[in-house]
């Protein structure tokens, strides 16, 4: 198990994000200035942004409000969607299964929450949470509700829970369950440990 101090020590300067500055010129041209990640006087690259063009590498800073519809009553998303009341209302979300670590539930008066603080580490036993999570999803379905499952990015933990749910409740094979979840949310990518656990999971 990684301790926080080990993680902090292991964080190298090279992993620091490059600094990006958005600049709009007097004539309305939009430029993006990039500096090296070392914070020094490294080279500055300037790129002109086209209207509506994707920024690619700065995508992390934009909200990810995409919601994957796995089943009519079962949605998969990131914490951004879980924190956006318009998105939640648009998808008629009534229940939220929060499997992130340290992410707060913003609308306790309006929605039914269940929180399990799961660490996104390969040696976390993700399958040990499937029974409890599936019962909550069943509860939402029985009440005619819609449950949104989320972690931080909606990529590893929450997708693993949804894949496990399909295996446990619908009897799907790992490949079928993974395929269905990936189709609903293309950014789905369980960490290698979760992937392996689910592959060998026998409900």
pLDDT tens digits, 87-104 = 999 999 999 999 999 999
**Cα maximum dimension of the chain:** 62
Positions marked active-site: 151
Residues 72 and 21 in one domain: no
147 in the same domain as 193: yes
More confident residue, 143 or 33: 143
DSSP string covering the chain, please? Answer: ---HHHHHHT--GGGSPPEEEEEE-TTS-EEEEEE-TTSSS--EEEEEEPTT---STTGGGS-----EEEETTEEEE-HHHHT-HHHHHHTT--EEEE-SSS---S-TTTSEEEE------TTS-GGGGHHHHHHHHHHHHHTT--EEEE-SSSSSHHHHHHHHHHHHHH---HHHHHHHHHHH-TT----HHHHHHHHT---
Question: In the listed set 37, 60, 83, which residue is the last one of a domain according to the structure?
Answer: 60
Q: 56 and 77: one domain?
A: no
Instruction: Looking at the structure, tell me whether residues 113 and 163 fall in a common domain.
Output: yes
Q: Give the pLDDT confidence score for residue 9 in this predicted structure.
A: 58
If asked whether residues 16 and 82 sit together in one domain, one would say no
Q: Is the domain of 34 the same as that of 9?
A: yes
pLDDT band at 47 (very low <50, low <70, confident <90, very high): low
Say which CATH number the domain at 116 has: 3.90.190.10
The verdict on 118 and 194 lying in the same domain is yes
Q: Could you list the residue range(s) of the whole structural domain that residue 173 is in?
A: 63-199
> What is the pLDDT, as a whole number, of residue 62?
77
Q: Domain check: are 81 and 13 in the same one?
A: no
Number of compact structural domains in the chain: 2
Same domain, 24 and 68: no
Are 34 and 105 members of one domain? no
Query: What is the mean pLDDT of the segment spanning 171-191?
Result: 97
Q: Out of 60, 82, 102, pick the residue that ends a domain.
A: 60
Q: Are 34 and 44 in contact (CB under 8 A)?
A: yes
Only one residue has tokens 């990684």, namely 2
pLDDT exceeds 50 at position 53: no
Q: Which of 60, 80, 96 is the last residue in one of the domains?
A: 60
**CB of 187 closer than 8 Å to CB of 116:** no
Q: Is the per-residue pLDDT at 169 higher than 80?
A: yes
The Cβ-side half-sphere exposure at 159, using a 13 Å CA radius, reads: 29
Q: Are residues 87 and 39 in the same domain?
A: no
How long, in residues, is the chain? 203
**Do 42 and 70 share a domain, yes or no?**
no
């Amino acid at each position: 198990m990684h301790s926080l101090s080990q993680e902090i020590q292991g964080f190298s300067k090279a992993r620091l994000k490059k600094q990006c500055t958005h600049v709009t010129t007097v004539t309305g041209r939009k430029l993006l200035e990039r500096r090296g990640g070392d914070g020094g006087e490294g080279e500055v690259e300037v790129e002109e942004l086209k209207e509506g063009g994707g920024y690619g590498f700065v995508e992390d800073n934009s909200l990810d409000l995409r919601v994957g519809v796995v089943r009519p009553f079962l949605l998969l998303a990131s914490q951004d969607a879980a924190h956006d009341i318009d998105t939640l209302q648009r998808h008629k979300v009534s229940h939220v299964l929060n499997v992130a670590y340290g992410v707060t539930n913003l609308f306790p008066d309006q929605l039914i929450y269940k929180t399990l603080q799961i660490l996104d580490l390969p040696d976390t036993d993700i399958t040990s949470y499937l029974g409890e999570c599936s019962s909550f999803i069943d509860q939402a379905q029985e009440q005619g509700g819609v449950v949104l499952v989320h972690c931080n990015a909606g990529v590893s933990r929450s997708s693993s829970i949804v894949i496990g749910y399909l295996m446990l409740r619908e009897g799907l094979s790992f490949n079928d369950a993974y395929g269905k979840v990936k189709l609903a949310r293309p950014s789905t990518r369980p960490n290698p440990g979760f992937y392996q656990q689910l592959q060998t999971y026998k409900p």
